[in-house]
Structure 1
Amino acid sequence: MATIFVREMPVDERPSTRLKHLGAGFLSNAELLSLLIKDTSTTSGYEVAQELLREANGLAGLRDINLESFPGIGKGKSLELLALLELAKRLGQQNRNIKIITCPEDAADYAASRLKYENREHFCIILLNVKNHILSWETISIGSLDASVVHPREVFRPAIIKGAASIILVHNHPSGDPTPSKEDLEVTARMVQVGKIMNISVLDHIIIGGDSFVSMKEKGAIK
């Protein structure tokens, strides 16, 4: 199949023209990426963008790809793409700058912007005051979730230091499936028990999986 260079497309079909006249919302992910990757003398920016999205299984997977070694990208362009991905992540965090938690959806929305694109499990906590205003977000551990990794002293130390009245446990499932595992249930039960002893309530344990989440409180795992 012949290579389709962007520069050889009809002018009104080129991503740059469509962006100018229609707006970014009307362009596909491949078209938007092609504006960054661009044609070279031997490769089509649009075709490289399509292949990159296929390999990454969508935009969310771009952070997991070795961009520098991907055909048609190279070192310079990979750095630009990584910078863009990080900016997009930070923008998402700002757009979800929730100050108070009123329901599991608030906690999940606050956490998802920070965790949904991570390719390793992150166990974090949201610290709250007596009126459920957010005091801070703390990362406790990165890696597989089990009782040996997530120790109560590491979880409750930030809460004690910052005078939190309660906490919400949060972690992500990189697989995209937020269904609680046996380890998730065990860790939740252990933290709730310790929280009662320390008089720091564990209000919920939110598991983020892609665009969905599970609230352990809603599942009945936290009474």
Structure 2
Amino acid sequence: MAQKECNKMHMKNVPYYDRPRERLLREGAAYLSDTELIAIMLRTGREQETVFQLAQRLLATFGDIGELAQASHAELTRIKGVGTVKAVELQAAFELGRRVALSSPEKRTTIRLPRDVAKLMLPEMRHLTQEHFVCLFLNTKNHVIGKQTIFVGSLDASIVHPREVFKEAIRRSSASVICLHNHPSGDPTPSREDIAVTRTLQEAGELIGISLLDHIIIGDGSFVSLKEQGYL
């Protein structure tokens, strides 16, 4: 039996008032559970499993909505019934949510200390299996107004070019920048390359008037601030 026909048959067995899309239209998105919202994003289930059941299993696998939101594409596609397209759509939806949170003035994170950065970014970056170089863009009040992954791969001064970092900072009218990258090994000890990149970015920022406030290295549950280490 074709997948589409199977899903139609499954939905026929679900009472109209229990269907997530209909509930959203009738009551509003705020009244839906995490499972119902995930089911709407997934759109279709699989043979012998409704989309609602697939959403339940997905959440149960990761434990909660927060952990699911941090899952990588590879982790998502390991779940039976979640292919490349579904995984991409879930990741896009969660990223939009993060960006909305950052753009809301009353909910913007204020950075005062390196631990504020770590609190914000550790959950997202501590389990990444490749190095990600990420920039946080701040306004004059040290509110985070944006975030951008600049590149993915081994850190090297020739790859992390100041042009890419400060192009985004200028586009967002940022007053300052905080850079982060993770060490997949879990050890956040700075390398010579880390220090060299930091100094290059600091010099570039001074020339154009956008301060590099810190460069933070994320490990597995720990972090190192190069500012606190005296490199900035």
TM-score range, shorter chain: 0.5 to 0.7
Change (3 A) 1:179 1:193: same
Say if 1:66 and 1:158 are closer, same or farther in 2 by CA, change over 3 A. closer
Give 1:112-127 correspondences, 5 Å limit.
112-127=122-137
In structure 2, do the counterparts of structure 1 residues 66 and 156 end up closer, same or farther at CA, with 3 Å as the change threshold? closer
2:186 aligned residue: 176
Matched, 1:138 2:137: no
* 1:139, distance to aligned residue in structure 2 (A): 0.9
Q: What percentage of residue pairs aligned between the two structures are identical? A: 44
- Matched residue type, 1:121: E
The one-letter code of the counterpart of 1:194 is: A
Amino acid at match of 2:109: K
Residue 77 of structure 1: how far off its partner (Å) = 7.4
| 1:1-223 paired onto structure 2 within 5 Å | 36=57, 76=81, 99-222=109-232
Please provide the CA RMSD for this pair.
3.8
For structure 2, the residue ranges without an aligned partner over 5 or more in a row are 1-55, 62-70
Q: What's the secondary structure of 1:170's corresponding residue?
A: strand
Q: TM-score, normalised by structure 2?
A: 0.58
Residues 95, 182 of structure 1: alpha-carbon distance in 2 compared, 3 angstrom cutoff? same
Give, as a single letter, the amino acid of the residue that structure 2 aligns with 1:171.
H
Q: Please state how far the C-alpha of 1:64 moved relative to its aligned partner.
A: 9.1
Tell me which amino acid in the other structure corresponds to 1:108.
Answer: A
Give, in angstroms, the shift of residue 215 of structure 1.
0.4
| Residues 64, 176 of structure 1: alpha-carbon distance in 2 compared, 3 angstrom cutoff | farther
Opposite residue 119 of structure 2, the aligned amino acid is D
Cα gap change, 1:196 to 1:63, in 2 (>3 Å): closer
How many residues align structurally? 167
Provide the TM-score with structure 1 as the length reference: 0.60
